A and B are shown apart, each in its own frame.
Chain A
Amino acid sequence: MNQLSPGPNHSSNHPQALNLPRAQLAPGDATRIAIEGIRARPLRAALAGLGIALGVTALVAVVGLSESSKAQINQELDALGTNLLTATAGNSFGGGQAQLPQDAVAMVERIGPVQQAAGVGNINASIYRNDKVDPIKSGGIGVNAATRSLKDTVGLVIADGQWLSAITEQFPTTVLGSTAADRLGITAELIRSTNPTQVWLGNHWFTVIGLLEPSDLTPELDSSALVSWPAAEKYLSFDGHPTTIYETSSDTSVDAVRNVLAATVSPSAPDEVQVSRPSDALAAKAATDAAFTGLLLGLGAIALLVGGLGVANTMVVSVLERRQEIGLRRALGATRRHIRNQFLGEAVTLSVLGGIAGAVLGILVTAIIATFNGWPISLPIWAISAGLGVTVLVGIVAGIFPASRGAKLPPTAALSI
């Protein structure tokens, strides 16, 4: 024994104590004691950790799902591109739909960075499956003149049949958006059959030559019947004034084009022109989820709070039950700090174990729901580390009060039963 060998100075300010070896506990031993304290009461630990686990599951899954759906939308945007701009004639001062100049498309094509431009002109005409149908029955389908460049500019995809061509545009032909085709009851089979499918459009029979796939960026075209520019002028007395211009440019020059688009399209009344970027609406979908995400995060935080109370309650009971153990440890040389750290360590371990279980569950939930929806799985590592970091904090807050109470017990009181 080396009771009186000079040891390192310790916290006592009494000279007699300067030569005393300290009471000390290796960090490894402290960790082992905390874990054993939990292992001795596994059911209680599981129940105490449950609330924390659910809270962390919610936090991780909410972030994971919101990130995964965002990744999905970003993937869509990547595929669709974000370089499409539209310029629409707004309402004129006198009220009523304003018109764009007839040469608006050509003017836009002349803007340096513009790659493609197309025009669509609103026509005041109705379309029916045949000439006997009650006019009211197939309302809601807009008839529009479209330049041939519309398909490539917007990225329209032909589902069946064909797009307007130099030959077909001389005849009364039309291409239907997906919703318009549905409403008229025109199916892919009808288009593929050898008999031409005709619709009663503006008091003329028009042949349907193609059907379009739904378009994410230009949903307004889904419910319209597109007629070529010359045919519209010839059969529907279209005046040749476009109402919407579509254009694409390189990604880097979108802003530059945006700045000059209104003035180019309508030099005389640029204020009446509304310029918008259809991909913005799609991107906004990712952002509108934010409120919902916030709500779920709040619920997760409440679950964590309840879980923290569960841990605190468990630790209070534990300290009361284990007075003898505290007394024995004090007799063996444990300081108040050792006792406090032991119970604090148990609380944090309990909380973090719950957190790990919750993180695993949260990852699983994210993976399952994302896979189910066909989203790419995206779970930022910060969400998991934040989740676990929060559990450490919860464990400390939940454990500090009971642990301090245990540490303050006088050894004699702790030993007497």
Chain B
Amino acid sequence: MTGTNLDHRHLVLEADDLTRVFGEGGTEAGRVVALDGVSLTIAAGELAALVGPSGSGKSTLMHVFGCLDTPTGGTLKINGIGVSLLDDNALSAVRAHQIGFVFQQFFLNQTQTAIENVADGLLYTGIPRAERTRRASDALQRVGLGDRLTHRPSELSGGQRQRVAIARAVVGNPPLILADEPTGNLDSQASADIVALLHALNYEGTTIVVVTHDLKLAALFPRQIQMRDGSIVADVVAQP
């Protein structure tokens, strides 16, 4: 079911025949085709789940989408920018300005407060510090942690920590948010809260792609892109 009624909208991600082969040039046995020709578009305002069994290539695809890894073949555009040929510095710029990341392990700085962690989402954008702090405060309000600005990660629950990490991803209002197993370290209640938060942020206009191996969780999102062995095997858009 590719080709949806969202096609006329601005595309924040256009992937064409992406491949990623690990261990190329080594022995045939060490060669792993993690992505085997992935073509996909994500339009502005979408909330999509990328779902598939372990080892199907979800994280690899996420890293390629996030310009953390370069594909072996194919082309990729982020927010209209062809990133396939960019050098390392330019890829850093794309990450700084176009993409927000949420990780399973949160990756918060334990020595910093919530607001400092969130402000670091803008650290490499050239925005002055005072303005970064102001926007971080706004972002923490958006994720419902307006009363936890100066708490440190150790003083927050797992769900709250992931909220801080989500605030850090959205603080710059990037056109694309990539979340790899954002509920992987959380209990069911906290997971439900995070899913609800992602829906709320999407409702405000944020484009989000969530990676999960959990079909039940994926079913909670309007679009489900299913992967297997490095390829997309199904792309389902729930009719509203």
Contacts and interface: CB of A to CB of B under 8 A. Distances in A.
A340 to B, nearest CB: 12
Contacts of A24: 124-126
Given A4-B80, A412-B63, A20 B93 contact: yes
Given A28-B129, A335-B92, A412-B68, A14 B85 contact: yes
A333 B93 contact: yes
Interface stretch (B100-108, B143-151, B186-194, B231-239): B100-108
B82 A40 contact: no
Contacts of A36: 111-112
Given A23-B93, A36-B111, A331-B101, A16 B86 contact: yes
A16 B126 CA distance: 21
Q: Is the interface of B mostly helix, strand, loop or mixed?
A: loop
Interface in A306-349: 324-325, 327-338
Interface stretch (A5-13, A149-157, A210-218, A260-268): A5-13
Contacts of A411: 63, 68-69
A405 to B, nearest CB: 16
A29 B105 CA distance: 25
Interface string B109-138: 101100000001101111011000000000
| Centre residue among A17, A36, A331, A338 by max chain B CB count within 10 A | A331
Contacts of B175: 1, 3
Nearest to A339: B92
B152 interface: no
Contacts of A331: 66, 68, 95, 101
B19 interface: no
B31 to A, nearest CB: 18
A325 B109 contact: yes
A24 B121 CA distance: 13
Interface in A372-417: 410-412, 415, 417
Contacts of B126: 21-22, 24, 26
B202 interface: no
B124 A12 contact: no
A25 interface: yes
Contacts of B200: none
Contacts of A330: 68, 92, 95
B170 to A, nearest CB: 11
Contact of A3 (B83, B98, B121, B123): B98
B124 A14 contact: no
A335 B88 contact: yes
B182 interface: no
B43 to A, nearest CB: 16
Contact of A10 (B81, B93, B95): B93
A332 B123 contact: yes
B201 to A, nearest CB: 15
A17 B93 contact: yes
Question: Which size class do A's interface residues fall under?
Answer: 35 or more
Contacts of A417: 105
Contacts of A11: 87, 89
A417 B123 CA distance: 24
B84 to A, nearest CB: 9
Contacts of B125: 21, 23-24, 333
A3 B124 contact: no
B97 A20 contact: yes
Question: Which size class do B's interface residues fall under?
Answer: 35 or more
B96 A17 contact: no
Contacts of A410: 69
A328 B92 contact: no
B94 interface: yes
A14 B86 contact: yes
A40 B68 CA distance: 27
B174 A1 contact: yes
Given A1-B173, A26-B126, A336 B93 contact: no
Nearest to B62: A412
Given A14-B85, A330-B92, A23 B109 contact: no
Contacts of B68: 330-331, 411-412, 415
B95 to A, nearest CB: 5
Nearest to A40: B111
Interface string A39-73: 11000000000000000000000000000000000
B232 to A, nearest CB: 21
Contacts of B123: 25, 29, 329, 332-334
A97 B154 CA distance: 93
Nearest to A33: B123
Interface in B35-76: 63, 66, 68-69
Contact of B93 (A22, A26, A28): A22
A238 B89 CA distance: 97
A40 B110 CA distance: 9
A332 B97 CA distance: 9
B153 interface: no
B97 A12 contact: no
Interface of A: 1, 3-4, 10-14, 16-17, 20-26, 28-29, 36, 39-40, 324-325, 327-338, 410-412, 415, 417
Interface of B: 63, 66, 68-69, 79-83, 85-90, 92-98, 101, 103, 105, 107, 109, 111-112, 120-121, 123-126, 128-129, 172-175
22 contacts: A1-B174, A3-B79, A3-B175, A4-B81, A10-B89, A14-B85, A14-B90, A16-B85, A17-B87, A22-B89, A24-B125, A24-B126, A36-B112, A329-B123, A330-B95, A332-B96, A333-B92, A333-B125, A335-B89, A336-B88, A338-B124, A415-B103
